[in-house]
C-alpha cells in the first residue's frame, strides 16, 4: 500500500449533506481519510495510490457533487 495525499481547492463551502457523503464513500473508494481546512477552501485526501490515481479521486468527488476546482493544488 502506498499512501498519498492530494489537495483540491473547493469552489464553494461544503454543505452538511456533502460532508455526510464524503464520510460515507471515503472507505468504499480506497480514500482513507479527508480533512477540510478551517477556511473551508481546501479539502485534503489520503488515498492508496496502488489502487487509485489523483484523477480518479477528483472524478469520485465530482460524482458526489463535491465542488472541487479543476486540478490539484
Domain boundaries, the chain: 3-63
Q: Which helix (H) or strand (E) holds 12?
A: none
pLDDT by residue (tens digit) across 5-14? 999 999 999 9
pLDDT value of position 28? 67
pTM over 0.75: yes
Q: Which three cell numbers stand for residue 19?
A: 460532508
pLDDT value of position 9? 94
67 SS3 class: coil
CATH class given for the domain over 3-63: alpha beta
Residue positions counted in the chain: 73
Q: Which helix (H) or strand (E) holds 61?
A: helix 54-63
Q: Give me the mean pLDDT over the 29-39 stretch.
A: 85
38 burial type by CB count under 10 A (0-12 exposed, 13-18 middle, 19+ buried): exposed
Amino acid at each position: 500500500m502506498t499512501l498519498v495525499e492530494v489537495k483540491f481547492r473547493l469552489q464553494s463551502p461544503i454543505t452538511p449533506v456533502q460532508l455526510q457523503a464524503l464520510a460515507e464513500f471515503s472507505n468504499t473508494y480506497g480514500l482513507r481519510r479527508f480533512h477540510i481546512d478551517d477556511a473551508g477552501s481546501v479539502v485534503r485526501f489520503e488515498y492508496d495510490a496502488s489502487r487509485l490515481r489523483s484523477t480518479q479521486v477528483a472524478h469520485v468527488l465530482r460524482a458526489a457533487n463535491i465542488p472541487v476546482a479543476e486540478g490539484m493544488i
